[in-house]
Amino acid sequence: MTFPLPLFDEYEKKEKCGLFGVWGTAEASHLCYQGLFAQQHRGQESAGIAVVDSAGGINGHMGMGLVSQVFPPRMLREDLAGNAAIGHVRYSTTGSSKLCNAQPLLRQFSMGPVAVAHNGNLINAALLRAEYERLGHIFQSTTDTEIIVHLLAKPSHLEKADPLPHVLKHLQGAFSLLFLFPDRMEACRDPWGVRPLSLGKTVEGQWCVASETCAFDAIGATFVREIEPGEIVRIDDSGIHARRFDSPPPETAHCVFEHVYFANPASKIFGQTVHTVREALGRQLAQEAPAAADYVMPMPDSGRSAALGFAKQSGIPFEEGIVPNRFVGRTFILPNQGQRDRAVAMKLNIIPDVVNGKRIILVEDSVVRGTTTRSKMRALRHAGAKEIHLRVSCPPIRHPCFYGIDFPTTTELIAHERSVEQIAQFLEVDSLAYLSLDGMLGCLRENKDAYCTACWSGNYKIPIDQPQSKFSFEREQLKMF
């Protein structure tokens, strides 16, 4: 039950979960493994796969760590043999990081067994949970996902011809969901379309579902279309059957941060390739906030696409001057800033020849808490950088996310109640510019009303009647370790 392995330690913006599901092939668990493997960037804390076995039961295995560590080949072949599978990689947004919270959740209810995998965050989970506890229900995990199964098991829901839409209508917040039943898989997406979820088809013709299309590429499958906001797609032996569980809200709320930071550059999200969007963000940034410099340089790896765009637009040469250490493991808890700077230095190497004596435009995807960024700036200075012009390919993050991103608390955000000027001073850079909100939204395909910009604008489209809900589980009185 210990946490066996090193993780990439970007603690400031914790990544969300990744989902994958496939129906109708004896290779289900292997495809699921590969689909999760390709989405490992969406969560490295735990991984799980559930399958429908030959007897119509559901078997699952979850473990702490990377996909490649959690599933030995023998397990995929034997314990997880079956013709349908769903899987999950996770970085906890609610629920502490415990194995008992690892997904897919497996539960037994009156209709038999079910497995559920969830990406997102339910803002009314605590409320629903309290309500169900009053009705005599008991809970084991501390994840918001558990409430979904309670809703599913509700007799009044089960009386309906098609209970699932009734269940989903009760959920508020962000949810891309995969359900695995013995006879079918159901892929659902909240009406706001906050998190991505796509439908694909393997070379052999089986339907599959993934958070990101890079998972399809990994298994040689083809992207078919997105699961629509408010849609349920049922996949079973007879094929796919789409239905809506809710009338669409007047507008959607696609998470722009998926494009800015989370998703794989090679994935297609909300109708656009991530790399292409990031490059456009960089171009726009070059127009909004030019600077005189010798080079445009990315903060690797997430700033690379935007930096390329910035360089192309500005005509200033693109250069690589920072080499990240690919083998970064868990770091010690470091008591003071001097040591924290040193820890950052261990994790990236500056190429002195490139940096020394140069005026640099450094392109970073975002700045959250600011301390890590400052350590990086100091490392560049130490290597001789003459000027650092930091350009950030999104606006200042000033508000918490209730839909699935685990930013630090508001007061820890560097942009909280600080002007750009003050932030520049804190980061010890010669100049600092953020991309404007409109500039950012202008790079996106849909009308700007289609997106959620809450972390930048404070405009929470999905009503947060219980803004405390995100943290309510922290008052949890149950701890297993």
One character per residue 116-135, x = contact with its own copies (rule: CB under 8 A): --------------x--xxx
Question: By CB under 8 A, is residue 96 in contact with its own copies?
Answer: no
CA 361, CA 294: separation in Å to the nearest integer? 8
- Do the beta carbons of residue 416 and residue 400 sit within 8 Å? no
Chain positions 63 to 92 lying near its own copies, rule: CB under 8 A, are 63, 66-69, 73, 79
CB-count exposure of residue 265 (10 Å: 0-12, 13-18, 19+): middle
Question: By CB under 8 A, is residue 352 in contact with its own copies?
Answer: yes
Name the segment binding its own copies (CB under 8 A); options: 120-128, 170-178, 260-268, 427-435.
260-268
CB of 186 to its own copies, least distance (A): 17
- Catalytic: 255? no
Q: Choose, by CB under 8 A, the member of 383, 405, 427, 429 that binds its own copies.
A: 383
CA 92, CA 17: separation in Å to the nearest integer? 8
Comparing CB distances to its own copies, the nearer of 105 and 424 is 105
Name the segment binding its own copies (CB under 8 A); options: 56-64, 281-289, 361-369, 388-396.
56-64
- Do the beta carbons of residue 86 and residue 49 sit within 8 Å? yes
Which H helix or E strand runs over 283? helix 274-288
CA 191, CA 457: separation in Å to the nearest integer? 21
Chain positions 408 to 447 lying near its own copies, rule: CB under 8 A, are none
Of the candidates 172, 180, 196, 146, the residue with the CA atom closest to the CA atom of residue 42: 196
Chain positions 285 to 344 lying near its own copies, rule: CB under 8 A, are 301, 304-305, 308, 312, 317-320, 323, 325-330, 332, 342
Question: By CB under 8 A, is residue 351 in contact with its own copies?
Answer: yes
Contacts of 457 (CB under 8 A, 6+ apart): 395, 399, 437
Our CA dihedral for 463, 465, 470, 471, rounded to 10 degrees, sits at 160
**Which amino acid appears at position 367 of this protein?**
V
Marked catalytic residue, from 17, 32, 401, 452: 17
Question: By CB under 8 A, is residue 245 in contact with its own copies?
Answer: no
Q: Choose, by CB under 8 A, the member of 267, 366, 372, 469 that binds its own copies.
A: 267
Comparing CB distances to its own copies, the nearer of 134 and 417 is 134
Chain positions 135 to 174 lying near its own copies, rule: CB under 8 A, are 135-140, 149-150, 152-155, 157-158
